[in-house]
Amino acid sequence: MSILITRPEPDASATTKRLVELGYASLSLPATKIIATGTSLPHTPFAALLATSANAFRMLQAADITRLKSRPLHCVGEKTAKIARDLGFLSVIVAGGSGAKLVSDIKTTYSPEAKFLYLTGTPRKPIVEDELRKAGYEVTSIELYHAQPVNAWPDAPPEVLRQVDAALHFSRASVETLLHLAEQSDVLAQLKTIPHLCLSDDVASPLIKIHCPIVACSMAANENSLLELLARVLP
């Protein structure tokens, strides 16, 4: 069975490797590419770092890592935490896979006058910073990357797209670009008929909006849970 992956590199290659190990074929057609913004990090004091995506750490300069690695770092998921640890960060706290849990952890651990440096990118839903600011915390959000939609498919993808058995979706931006390009390539009707397996309700919303008949979300917002869902849908 062939599984469509639309997430950007290098994550697409990592997911492809796991699918092959599980016995699936894969079609990698990244719908977005990660572009560094070049934004500099401030030198103001803060209680801890926050991060919700591994892409932020891929954009850090060596000097920034050296300066920040001893500070407490709160990550949403284990994947982001692993990349941070591999880069040398010494105190990494994992929130269990959701921005809401990260916010809860911060409220439990820090007094409201605490200041935080949030390493992030666009597009994103500003749940973490909005909820923390409502609670009285000061959050400086630094956008280190931008997920830029691709303008066109690579050579001759429409025929290949007609042969996939399911699709894995990790971001809303990738889904929106996929649907736009599929419509341009006249394969949207076919693409709507396959199972679409999504990391969250937000990721799934564009598919539900156009009435795709088979849309499912993983129990948790991580790759392991999404692959478990795939095994249940396509055993």
DSSP conformation letters of the chain: -EEEE-PPTTHHHHHHHHHHHTT-EEEE--SEEEEE--PPPP----SEEEES-HHHHHT--HHHHHHHTTSEEEESSHHHHHHHHHHT-SEEEE--S-HHHHHHHHHHHS-TT-EEEEEEEES---HHHHHHHHTT-EEEEEEEEEEEEPSS-SSSHHHHHTT-SEEEE--HHHHHHHHHHHHHTT-HHHHHTS-EEESSHHHHHHHHHTT-S-EEE-SSSSHHHHHHHHHHH--
Max avg pLDDT among 93-107, 176-190, 202-216: 202-216
User: Over the stretch 159-189, which tens digit does the pLDDT of each residue have?
Assistant: 788 889 999 999 999 999 999 999 988 889 9
Instruction: Provide the angle, in degrees to the nearest 10, between the axes of the packed helices 172-184 and 201-209.
Output: 20
pLDDT at 156: 58
The answer to whether domain 2-31+150-233 and domain 35-148 are alike in fold is yes
Output the pLDDT for position 136: 95
Does 155 have pLDDT greater than 70? no
Q: Which two tokens stand for residue 121?
A: 């990118």
- Residue 141 is predicted with a pLDDT of 96
Give the CATH number of domain 35-148; options: 1.10.10.10, 3.40.50.720, 3.40.50.10090, 3.40.50.11540. 3.40.50.10090
What pLDDT sits at residue 171?
93
All structural domains of the chain with their residue ranges: 2-31+150-233, 35-148
Return all residues near 76 (Cβ < 8 A) that are at least 6 apart. 51, 52, 53, 94, 95, 97, 98, 99, 101, 102, 221
Chain Cα centroid distance, residue 101: 16
Its CATH class, for the domain covering 2-31+150-233, is: alpha beta
pLDDT in tens, 43-64: 999 999 999 889 999 999 999 9
8 Å CB contact between 27 and 2: yes
Give the Cα separation of 116 and 97 in Å (integer): 19
